[in-house]
Structure 1
Amino acid sequence: MTLPAFADDTPAQDKPAAHHARMTWEERFTQANLAHDGHLTLEEAKHGYHAIARHFGDVDVDGKGYVTENDIRAWHASQKTAREHLKAAEDPLRPRNAFQQHAFTKQQTFKTSADQIVPGPAASPRQMEAASDKP
């Protein structure tokens, strides 16, 4: 008696990987470094590490003609710092969460020409100073 063949009966080595994991930058560096000397030249980067090839001049800050893992690590850190710096720059017109407090919601008081104190929107220190200087 013969048993029916099932799709799961194939050996494990014949099965394709269920999930293709992305390579880390260290693995990509090792794969692209054909000379295995720890130095990645522009030509090696063009064939195996395209992101570094595109930014080779930025990564090779010393102008050596090659980059090392430490050069790439420093470049990644500088890129991360630049991204965080851009995030930190506050844009007053950026959409905000409705419940987020910011300086524009504070109520300030200021004097009118009739010397009445009227509640109003938040004013800058310069505006407050100008309002208090008026007779």
Structure 2
Amino acid sequence: MFRLILSLPLGLLLLASAVEIRAEDDTRQQRILDELQQRFTQADTNHDGLLSREEAETGMPRVYKRYDAIDTDKKGALSLEDITDYLAQQRGKR
């Protein structure tokens, strides 16, 4: 019984820590997405919501280096969704 009483607060502490870590991770992920959105918007010089190869080369060089891998539909232009899908796919491979 005594062990149960001691283990309950420890369990609650571990759960609270896990929730806090998850919240920090969500906040970090949101900051990354916000920064990606901002960079995408700046790189999209003609404001059509898509990055041409030239726009990516000038404004998002890392995207440019992986342009063909990201452009899975081979449409010659990347949306922000194309980029985030690619990043999520790469994250899943780790």
| TM score, norm. by length of structure 2 | 0.63
Higher helix residue share: 2
1:54 is matched with which residue? Answer: 65
State the alpha-carbon separation in 1 of the partners of residues 76 and 83 from structure 2: 14
State the alpha-carbon separation in 1 of the partners of residues 78 and 85 from structure 2: 11
Q: How does 1:22-41 map to 2 (within 5 A)?
A: 24-41=35-52
* Residue 78 (structure 1) aligned with residue 85 (structure 2): no
State the alpha-carbon separation in 2 of the partners of residues 51 and 43 from structure 1: 13
Aligned residues: 62
Unpaired segments of 5 or more residues in structure 1?
A: 1-21, 84-135
State the alpha-carbon separation in 2 of the partners of residues 79 and 50 from structure 1: 18
* Residue 44 (structure 1) aligned with residue 55 (structure 2): yes
Q: What CA RMSD, in Å, does the superposition of the two structures yield over aligned residues?
A: 1.5
SS at match of 2:46: coil
Answer with 1 or 2: which has the greater Rg. Answer: 1
Displacement of 1:73 after TM fit?
A: 1.1
SS at match of 1:40: coil
Q: Percent identity?
A: 35
Task: Return the letter of the residue paired with 1:58.
Answer: A
Displacement of 1:58 after TM fit?
A: 0.7
- Higher relative contact order, structure no. (Cα contacts within 8 Å, ≥ 6 residues apart): 2
State the alpha-carbon separation in 2 of the partners of residues 46 and 76 from structure 1: 18
2:78 is matched with which residue? Answer: 67
Deviation track 1:84-103 (CA, whole Å, cap 9, x = no partner) reads: xxxxxxxxxxxxxxxxxxxx
Displacement of 1:37 after TM fit?
A: 0.6
Task: Return the letter of the residue paired with 2:46.
Answer: A
Higher strand residue share: 1
